[in-house]
Structure 1
Amino acid sequence: MTAMLVSVAELSNIFFVLAVSICFCGVFLFIIRNMIVLRIHGDELMFGGSGSVMTHSPRIPQMEMMKVHIPFTFKLHESFKSTYTEVECEVSSQVEYSLQALWGVSIRELHLALWKPWSTLRDASLNGTLLQGHAQYLTPPQTRQPHGEETLRLSLPAPELELGTPPRLCYPLVIFLTRRDNGDPHPDETVALVNVVHIKDSVCTLPTSILAQYLKQANGQLSCLKQLYLATGNSTNYDEGDVSSGLGSALALAEPCNNSGSSARGALVASGTGDPEGSLWNTAGEQLCVVCQYFPLSRALLPCRHTCICASCFGKLDRCPMCRSPIKSYFCIRGEEYMPLESEINPCKQRQSSHGPTHWLHDWNDRLTDFLGFAR
């Protein structure tokens, strides 16, 4: 009897030690979990953030973009030093068009004219009455047939311009490229490309460059063209150095001028007369993601417009790897068929959907991982 009581006492001690050990492990795991939460969300707890402790960062939204084609390209000639006397540019077009240069254009009147209906703007451009009385000098519109890239020289018909001192109320030079076909274009068709050019002088010493490019569609929509910054150091010739030279690359972002805010919701992806499929995405040397250097880049980040990462690396970032600015949204500039299947990316999900004998082990393992705060 005494031996049995001793055995029971020893077992009770073992149960007590086991219970204490289990409680200690539970407290330890609880502390570790809350330390992770405090480390991640400490600012919200200390400074009264609006989100709760367990609130996850929202998923970066994808902007639904519509691709439009621009039949024109325009860029300043890099090897030519433009002056008020003469400006050299390179132009190409896939349609019959009218070219007109306007010197000393009122900024206010130009933007008012750009918002007019397409029919009114087209008639004024083809008749040579566009911004008449609101520009110091107007050259007659030149009708031109479709042609490849061609160098043009535009000359000022007067000795000098009177632009005044900064802040100026006039643009030095505005060049209109307007379609001449008489048929009814599709509402989304590009019908005019407006190029605003700054010319360096003794008062405004900024380098000669294109200040802005505006895209006019047949439905009356006016958009501001902004170049996409493609990753440098790869096989193509599209890099950030081309941004100041105008619409010469394959892709650009056209943000509607009436769209306020930094997002590009409702924006367009504009493709120039270049061949993006043959040059930007050629099989001999695709531009690769700057992070993994394995998959081809396929996503443009907004608002910084850097096109530098693939879909695989995108889910691991919240800041642009090029400029470190926060990623607010993105859009795809090409198909992402290169991505592996979902089962190859996360085999745990495939195991969870199975009904094998070890299914419950994987389920408890995932629950413990979530409880500890680690990412699966």
Structure 2
Amino acid sequence: MTAMLVFVAELSYNIFSVLAVFICFCGVFLFIMRNMMVLRVHGDDLMFGGTGGVLTHSPRIPQMKMMKVHIPFTFKLHESFKSTYAEVECEVSSQVEYSLQAIWGVSIRELHLALWKPWSALRDASLNGSLLQGHAQYFTPPQARQPHGEETLSLSLPAPELELGTPPRLCYPLVIFLTRRDTRELHPDETVALVNVVHIKDSVCTLPTSILAQYLKQANGQLSCLKQLYLATGNSTNYDEMGVSSGLGPALALAEPCPNNGAGSRDALVASGPGDTEGSLWNSAGEQLCVVCQYFPLSRALLPCRHTCICASCFGKLDRCPMCRSPIKSYFCIRGEEYMPPEKELSPCKQRSPRPQQGNGPSHWLHDWNDRLTDFLGFAR
């Protein structure tokens, strides 16, 4: 009898041990399956010391407040790799009456001092031909021009050669001013001049002919440096970085205020060319879709890389640009985001992974304990 009791006790102990191990195994299995994405992301952090490729909850990325301004001019170099001092071809268009002047061998320092002058002084100097007088090697007389569409112009150096010295040079080879001739009172935010700084390839400085910089002058005196936004053109494999070397076309550009000693900081601007009508970039044949989901239209420009390629829905899941993989420091919206469903209009820091509806019964109890265990282990829900 004693032996039988001992056998039953050992058997019951073994059965309970096996059952307890089985229950624990099932619990761990269910926990891992439900939190697979969380474990994968945090596992990448622990193993490789970095963030995973996709974050469930990206940190709050600040939004830059932008104001849109319109540029009545466009300026692009035409076949810039063939341009020489004897012939520089460019394409110009304007929606307003303006003055065009090409100035050769311009002092870099004096150019920037002149650009910071009030708009009235800059306009008067441009109209009477005294702009940068004494601080450049050759001038072409200012040409008064009426509004026109895209037109090809050919510019040539009036003398055999420029004296620019060896790099680093203190002079720009060519600066082209497009200045409004309006004498009426303009709105303070209205664009009054587009200044194009052009490098021309020569035997000393063999860099390809290109536009070094473009400056935007507003009637309120603000001076901004134009930088193109890189726009996707329908899908992630067809990517157009238009305007990086050819100049400002009918796309969007970021106008970053130039620093000026003693002046307060100003907000950045989103500048659009004459070819951009309201909404035309986004509604033509269903193009300009987010390169990640290919469903919603792209609406956010990422900084500092300036790639404009994702929608508001995908933005909350990323911490790096999907095009160049650089970290996203801030962003700004280039269009309204009314296309977003109500449940998607949460800020990135408030978006969470979908979870089942909680209710009564065993499922509610299981989810409750699972959430407690997840919090105890330090994982994000």
- Unmatched 5+ stretches in structure 2: 1-5, 50-56, 346-350
What is residue 126 of structure 2 aligned with on the other side?
125
List aligned pairs for 1:106-117, cutoff 5 A: 106-117=107-118
List aligned pairs for 1:359-370, cutoff 5 A: 366-370=371-375
Distance 1:251 1:373 in 2: 44
Q: What secondary structure does 1:100 align onto?
A: strand
Q: What secondary structure does 1:242 align onto?
A: coil
Query: Any conservation in 2 of the 1:98–1:144 contact (CA below 8 Å)?
Result: yes
Query: Any conservation in 2 of the 1:84–1:199 contact (CA below 8 Å)?
Result: yes
1:324-347 CA deviation, whole Å, 9 max, x = no partner?
111101111112222222179879
Identical columns (%)? 83
Distance 2:260 2:331 in 1: 17
What is residue 62 of structure 2 aligned with on the other side?
61
Query: Any conservation in 1 of the 2:230–2:242 contact (CA below 8 Å)?
Result: no
Q: CA deviation at 1:371?
A: 4.3
Q: CA deviation at 1:258?
A: 1.4
Task: Return the letter of the residue paired with 1:243.
Answer: V
Q: What secondary structure does 2:112 align onto?
A: helix
What is residue 325 of structure 1 aligned with on the other side?
326
Structure 1 residues 36 and 290, CA gap change in structure 2 (3 angstroms):
closer
What is residue 45 of structure 2 aligned with on the other side?
40
Structure 1 residues 202 and 232, CA gap change in structure 2 (3 angstroms):
farther
Q: What secondary structure does 1:125 align onto?
A: helix
Q: CA deviation at 1:63?
A: 0.7
Structure 1 residues 185 and 300, CA gap change in structure 2 (3 angstroms):
same
What is residue 195 of structure 1 aligned with on the other side?
196
Q: What secondary structure does 2:245 align onto?
A: helix
Distance 2:379 2:254 in 1: 38
Structure 1 residues 182 and 265, CA gap change in structure 2 (3 angstroms):
closer
Count matched residues.
354
Q: CA deviation at 1:368?
A: 4.7
Q: What secondary structure does 2:243 align onto?
A: helix
Worse overlay, 171-180 or 290-299: 290-299
Structure 1 residues 77 and 190, CA gap change in structure 2 (3 angstroms):
same
Task: Tell me, yes or no, if structure 1 residue 284 matches structure 2 residue 285.
Answer: yes
What is residue 101 of structure 1 aligned with on the other side?
102
Task: Return the letter of the residue paired with 1:110.
Answer: L
Worse overlay, 241-250 or 195-204: 241-250
Distance 1:186 1:140 in 2: 28
Distance 1:163 1:366 in 2: 70
Q: What secondary structure does 2:324 align onto?
A: coil
The structure with higher relative contact order (CA 8 Å, sep 6+) is 2
Query: Any conservation in 2 of the 1:96–1:179 contact (CA below 8 Å)?
Result: yes
List aligned pairs for 1:167-182, cutoff 5 A: 167-182=168-183
1:124-177 CA deviation, whole Å, 9 max, x = no partner?
111111100000011111111111111111222212111111111110000011
Query: Any conservation in 1 of the 2:68–2:270 contact (CA below 8 Å)?
Result: yes
Report the aligned-residue RMSD. Answer: 4.1
What is residue 166 of structure 1 aligned with on the other side?
167
Query: Any conservation in 2 of the 1:36–1:373 contact (CA below 8 Å)?
Result: no
Task: Return the letter of the residue paired with 1:173.
Answer: L
1:34-68 CA deviation, whole Å, 9 max, x = no partner?
99868636899xxxxxxxxxxx9631111111111
What is residue 301 of structure 1 aligned with on the other side?
302
List aligned pairs for 1:331-346, cutoff 5 A: 331-342=332-343
Q: What secondary structure does 1:40 align onto?
A: helix
Task: Tell me, yes or no, if structure 1 residue 214 matches structure 2 residue 215.
Answer: yes
1:184-229 CA deviation, whole Å, 9 max, x = no partner?
1111111111000011111111111100000011111110000011
1:70-109 CA deviation, whole Å, 9 max, x = no partner?
1111011127822112211111111111111100000111
Q: What secondary structure does 1:243 align onto?
A: coil
Query: Any conservation in 1 of the 2:234–2:287 contact (CA below 8 Å)?
Result: no
Query: Any conservation in 2 of the 1:302–1:330 contact (CA below 8 Å)?
Result: yes
Q: What secondary structure does 2:144 align onto?
A: strand
Output the TM-score relative to the length of structure 2: 0.78
Q: What secondary structure does 1:121 align onto?
A: helix
Structure 1 residues 178 and 238, CA gap change in structure 2 (3 angstroms):
farther
What is residue 269 of structure 1 aligned with on the other side?
270
